[in-house]
Amino acid sequence: MAYDIAEDQRLDPRVKAFLLSVPSEAGGDVGSRDELLREAAALGERHEEDAWDRLKAQCGSEEAAPSTGLACSEEELESSPDGNRVKLLVTRPDNDEALACIYYVHGGGMASQSCYDPHFRGWARLLAANGVAVVMVDFRNSLVPSSVPEVAPYPAGLNDCVSGLRWTVANASRLGIDPARVVVAGESGGGNLTLATGLRLLRDGDIGLVKGLYALCPYIAGSWPRDDCPSSVENNGIMLELHDNRAAMSYGIDAFESRDPLAWPLFATVDDVRGFPPTVVNVNECDPLRDEGVNFYRLLLQAGVPARCRQTMGTAHATEVFTSLCPDISRDTARDMAAFARE
């Protein structure tokens, strides 16, 4: 029997009402990444505003996320090793204090979206209103351009995220950031890149650059359904339809087939994560990805990493970053993330 959103008694009524307004999208396996690139280009050419666009615009409004008392600026850097340009969007309280920093990686399955999208700008303001600096990185997506025209599969996006983090720490004084209080955070694909950044820094001996990681609804398995993740069956179809090969094909099938944990962190072992800084994993009750986040949290505990896991009841995937949908839930998670950075 197909999943019926209307009959799901777990969902917050605000989330349910929105999801009922959005048509479901059928996926299906594809034969190559080139096929996905052609699909993405065709969708972009005929795109018309839909319920998602209207929600994102609302989330970027002053009503949902006021800009009062905040300052916003843009930085640009050269990413290593490819030499491409990466933009950073900086949002912070308008003062001269050296603040704790949330280095934030936007979602979109590592394939699409931009930190310049209105809902991410609103999320940045909501975070910064809690007394922290927020640096959002606009990395190269694997399918749809962000604020730069280049698209490329793994490891391009991860290289950009790590380069942007290194640049942020090196320029902390100019940005008004306390370099001893920098955490990496992100949701969905950004949650993947958050954990992958930690894995890369750990391998490089540079994990001391960050004091913590905060992954929201991390998208880290690469293939579904999974027996060890019951949510990948019971919640499939709630915002996300995952039962195809598109994720691995988009980001790079070779990295998936080689079980590279820097591409898909759920492949990580206890030894891979031993030495991680304090880490928070935040999952959504009605998300197909819920259990892979919980399983990664348990892996951290096995490795002796100081970790905690939050489950937000009644929510679908990444509800928190849509600041006008459930404002109380968004504010609560923003406060928790900011406190994690400040402590």
The pLDDT value recorded for residue 2 is: 66
How many CB atoms lie under 10 A from the CB of residue 54?
A: 11
Taking only the tens place, the pLDDT of each residue in 244-272 is 999 999 999 999 999 999 999 999 999 99
Tell me the residue type at 273: V
Q: What is the mean pLDDT of the chain?
A: 96
| Contact of 213 with 184, CB cutoff 8 Å | yes
The pLDDT value recorded for residue 1 is: 54
- CATH architecture of residue range(s) 10-19+72-342: 3-Layer(aba) Sandwich (3.40)
What token pair was written down for 308?
């905690």
Strand-pairing partners, residue 177, are: 99
Domain boundaries, the chain: 10-19+72-342
| Contact of 156 with 142, CB cutoff 8 Å | yes
The pLDDT value recorded for residue 31 is: 96
Tell me the residue type at 249: M
Residues of the chain with pLDDT under 50: none
Is the pTM here over 0.75, yes or no? yes
Give phi and psi for 30, each to the nearest 5.
-125, 160
The candidate with the shortest Cα–Cα distance to 11, out of 262, 286, 293, 327, is: 286
Half-sphere exposure for 67 (CA within 13 Å, toward CB): 12
Element (H, E) at 70: strand 70-78
| Contact of 335 with 33, CB cutoff 8 Å | no
First to last CA, the chain: 47
The candidate with the shortest Cα–Cα distance to 184, out of 124, 241, 134, is: 134
Q: Is 99 helix (H, G, I), strand (E, B) or coil?
A: strand
| Burial track 265-302 (b if 16+ CB lie within 10 A, e otherwise) | bbbbeeebbeebbbbbbbbbbbbbbbbbbbbbbebbee
- Pairing mode of beta strands 70-78, 85-93: antiparallel
The pLDDT value recorded for residue 170 is: 98
Q: Is 155 left (phi over 0), alpha (psi -120 to 50) or beta?
A: alpha
Taking only the tens place, the pLDDT of each residue in 158-215 is 999 999 999 999 999 999 999 999 999 999 999 999 999 999 999 999 999 999 999 9
The pLDDT value recorded for residue 337 is: 98
